[in-house]
Amino acid sequence: MNFSYESLPTQWVWIAGALYGVTMAWVLWRAPWSWLREREHLHVFLGSCVALLLMWSMRASAIPGLDYHYLGATLTTLMFGWRLACVALCLVLAGTVFNGASDWQVFPMNALTMVLTPVLLSHAIFRVVDSRLPNNIFVYIFVCGYFGAGAALLGAGGLTSILLVRGGVYSFERLAYDYFPFAPLMLFMEAFITGMLVAIFVVMRPNWVSTFDDARYLKRRP
């Protein structure tokens, strides 16, 4: 999911820039920077950015503008919270611009579709689980991790497809033939990788996952 500058109407680029600027200004102002003051947390944050940049560089494309790669939005949301997740993924997206894999002019539009949309969906699912479902580690892993990752990628891909169709870049029939048949495979891979990593982290390194409280999810019952 990576727009090119030529694929979008100019007014869309300006609107996306305004939305991105306002949203990220608020995110940067309210982000929990104190969490990164701990050296281990900072190392995990920066290491995750580097790892995701490498994974975003390994992509396949059926048609221009719709690339296939691991997104990682749900994983970073669960690990760092949604605000720091937006910061992390925007740094990763900036890295793709720097290495020439993405056009800088459409950075805001790519950020809205590949960063803000999946991160906010992941956060919304976490909030539902946190407030309405039992405090159970398996609920956290399978609903927040596996299901959340699939839903986040589906939301990002769906929004990108709608914009490409509305912008006249591709017809719905073209997407239905060249893109949609591969979507279930990508959803499965996104969910599997994210769920596996979430399970490993909450068991081996629960302090790396800011949204996970081991005292709450692993409490002993009398």
Cα separation values, 41 from 84, 144, 168, Å = 12, 21, 44
Q: Give the pLDDT of residue 153.
A: 94
Largest pairwise CA distance in the chain? 63
Please state, as a whole number, how many other Cβ atoms lie within 10 Å of the Cβ of residue 193: 19
What is the rounded distance in angstroms from the CA atom of residue 216 to the CA atom of residue 159? 35
Q: How far apart are the first and last CA of the chain?
A: 49
pLDDT at 45: 97
What per-residue confidence (pLDDT) applies to 12?
Answer: 86
Cβ-contact 101, 178 below 8 angstroms: no
State yes or no: pLDDT of 65 exceeds 80.
no
Q: Mean pLDDT across the chain, nearest whole number? A: 89
Give whichever of 22-36, 100-114, 175-189 has the largest mean pLDDT: 22-36
> Tens digit of pLDDT for each residue in 93-111?
999 888 877 778 889 999 9
CA 103 – CA 98 distance, rounded (Å): 9
- Strand 60-63 and strand 66-68: the pairing is antiparallel
Output 123 or 215, whichever has higher pLDDT: 123
Percentage above 70 pLDDT, the chain: 93
Task: Give the pLDDT of residue 200.
Answer: 96
| CA separation for the pair 103, 65 (Å, rounded) | 11
In the prediction, which pLDDT does 222 show? Answer: 44
* Res 6 pLDDT > 70: no
From 116, 114, 207, 211, select the one nearest 160 (Cα to Cα).
114
- List the helix and strand counts (H, then E) for the chain: 11, 2
pLDDT of residue 221: 47
Task: Please give the average per-residue pLDDT across 33-38, as a whole number.
Answer: 94
Instruction: Calculate mean pLDDT across residues 186-215.
Output: 93
Q: Which CATH number fits domain 5-217: 1.10.1760.20, 2.60.40.1120, 3.20.20.70, 1.10.3720.10?
A: 1.10.1760.20
Would you state the pLDDT for residue 220? Answer: 52
Q: For residue 205, what are the β-bridge partners?
A: none
Pair 73, 92: CB distance under 8 Å: no
Q: What is the DSSP letter of 89?
A: H
Task: Give me the residue spans of the domains in the chain.
Answer: 5-217
